[in-house]
Structure 1
Amino acid sequence: MYVSVATEPGGVAPNEDWVAGTSNLAIVLDGLSTAGLDTGCRHGVPWYVAKLGGHLIAALAEPSRPLVDGLADALERVAQSHRECDLKNPGTPSATVAILREGMKEFEHLVLADSPIVLETRTGITVLTDLRVDGVCQELRADTEKFETGTPEHQASVAKLVAAQREIRNTDEGYWVAGSMSEAAYHAFAGSVDTSAVLSAAVLSDGAARLVTEYQTETWEALIGRLRAAGPSALIRAVRAVEATDPHGRRWPRYKSGDDAAVAFCQPASVG
């Protein structure tokens, strides 16, 4: 398949998203915010997503290997590479995962947390995502929406929310993300669809999907059309243009004015 990619930080801080594409694989990782809290790790989130991404590409090079097994292996290898850090810290660097792999007969897909995969098929749009995080800490989430983005009150409320989320992260009572536990891979949502049914696909971080999911200024069909016409960088520019109309989060309350964004747009070679 043909894969085009783009990623961009949401502000002046280092980009915590990561994206890569090969002839049969597209991966997007979205590093989770630490909100300035201790992580027990000296490396940081950008290091973590880069390490995990590289190990995922290697682990999934064998086309018959299940995606969940490849993710579990990659998580274990990253954990082994920084055992000197406190991997039991609830804030240890972690990320959402979205993977699409083209095979001879099937497109395999995996999502862990809220980075979506959008499939354009011959019968319409299918969105694959994992929104379990939305079901936890809802009162604290609502509190963050009371303040303008970037104010001290807003930053304090986000830190409080993140601290609460960390305590139930990667537990049956909470939600699952890629972190230091290989077990998390087996809590991902994985499946497949016939290759012949897929016209195109977008693998996105939530920061790139916001035109549809948060701002609701575009449909999934329009987003796919934009990607086909102008490519991933144009999609990120469109997100930034909308964000610029509401820098303080008054219309669309959010954790930060601009979120890191990553996009992989995939088109089967048979479609052209």
Structure 2
Amino acid sequence: MRVSLATQPGGAGPNEDWVAGTSTFAIVLDGLSTAGLDTGCRHGVPWFVAHLGGSLGAALADADVSLTDALADALERVARLHPTCDLANPGTPSATVAVLRERGEHLDHLVLADSPIVLESVSGISVVTDLSVDEVCQDLRLETERHETGTPEHRASVARLVAAQREIRNTPDGYWVASATPEAAFHALTGSVQASDIRSAAVMSDGVSRLVTEYGMATWSEVFDALRSHGPASLIQTVRLVEATDPHGRRWPRYKTGDDAAVAFCQPTNQS
């Protein structure tokens, strides 16, 4: 398949999103915020997503391996790369995962947490995502929304929310993300569709998808039109222009003014 990519940090800090693509797969990882809290790891989130992405891509080189097994293998490999870190720390670096792979006449997908894969098919648009994180710690989430983005009160409330979320990450009472153990891979959403039914697909972090899901400033059909006409980098720039109209999060309460963004636009090779 044809894959075009773009990623951009949301602010002055390092980009904690990661994206890669080949003629057979696309991967997007969205590193989870640490909110300045202890992680038990000396490497940090950008290191984690870069190594997880590289290991996952290497595992996908075997066309016979399932996406779940590929992710489990990658998680195990990355864990072995930092044995002196406290991987039992609930704040150990972690990320969402979204993978699309062309395999013969099929497109396989895997989604772990809330980085969506959006499929534009002959019959319409479907979104694959797991929003379990939105169902936990709702009282703390509402607290963050009462404060303007960037204020001391907002930063403190985000830290409290992240601290509470990470206590239930990768537990039956919480939500699952890619972290230090392979088990998380087996909680991902997976599936397969006929490649001939798909016109195009977008694999993205929520720093991009929020243009539709949170800001309501585009439809998925308009997103695909923009990707075809102007490409992924232009789509991210559109997100930034929208965010610039609400820098303090009054219209759209959020954790930060601009989130890291990554998108892979995929077109199966059987499409013209």
After TM superposition, is the score higher than 0.5? yes
Q: Distance in 1 between matches of 2:150 and 2:248?
A: 7
- Alignment partner of 1:202: what SS? strand
Q: Distance in 2 between matches of 1:195 and 1:271?
A: 9
The residue aligned with 1:162 is 162
Q: Distance in 2 between matches of 1:234 and 1:150?
A: 26
Cα deviations by residue, 1:227-264 (Å, 9 ceiling, x for unpaired)? 01100000000000000000000000000000000000
Q: Which amino acid aligns with 1:184?
A: A
Q: Any unmatched runs of 5+ in structure 1?
A: none
TM-score when scaled to structure 1? 0.99
1:129 is the counterpart of 2:152: no
- Alignment partner of 2:74: what SS? helix
CA shift for structure 1 position 181: 1.0
Q: Distance in 2 between matches of 1:223 and 1:101?
A: 21
Matches within 5 A, 1:59-138: 59-138=59-138
Q: Distance in 2 between matches of 1:208 and 1:228?
A: 16
Q: Which amino acid aligns with 1:48?
A: F
Cα deviations by residue, 1:115-165 (Å, 9 ceiling, x for unpaired)? 000000000001000101111000000000000000000000000000000
The residue aligned with 1:258 is 258
Q: Which amino acid aligns with 1:61?
A: A
Cα deviations by residue, 1:161-219 (Å, 9 ceiling, x for unpaired)? 00000100000000000000100000000010011101100000000111101100100
Q: Any unmatched runs of 5+ in structure 2?
A: none
1:247 is the counterpart of 2:247: yes
Give the superposed CA RMSD.
0.5
TM-score when scaled to structure 2? 0.99
Aligned length in residues: 272
- Alignment partner of 1:190: what SS? strand
The residue aligned with 1:139 is 139
Q: Distance in 2 between matches of 1:125 and 1:149?
A: 32
Task: After the TM superposition, list the runs of 4 or more consecutive aligned residues in structure 1 that deviate by more than 2 angstroms.
Answer: none
- Alignment partner of 1:207: what SS? helix
| Preserved CA contact (<8 Å) 2:195 2:270 | no
Q: Which amino acid aligns with 1:161?
A: L
Q: Distance in 1 between matches of 2:74 and 2:150?
A: 35
The residue aligned with 1:21 is 21
The residue aligned with 1:218 is 218
Q: Distance in 2 between matches of 1:158 and 1:142?
A: 10
- Alignment partner of 2:208: what SS? coil
Q: Which amino acid aligns with 1:62?
A: D
| Preserved CA contact (<8 Å) 2:149 2:257 | yes
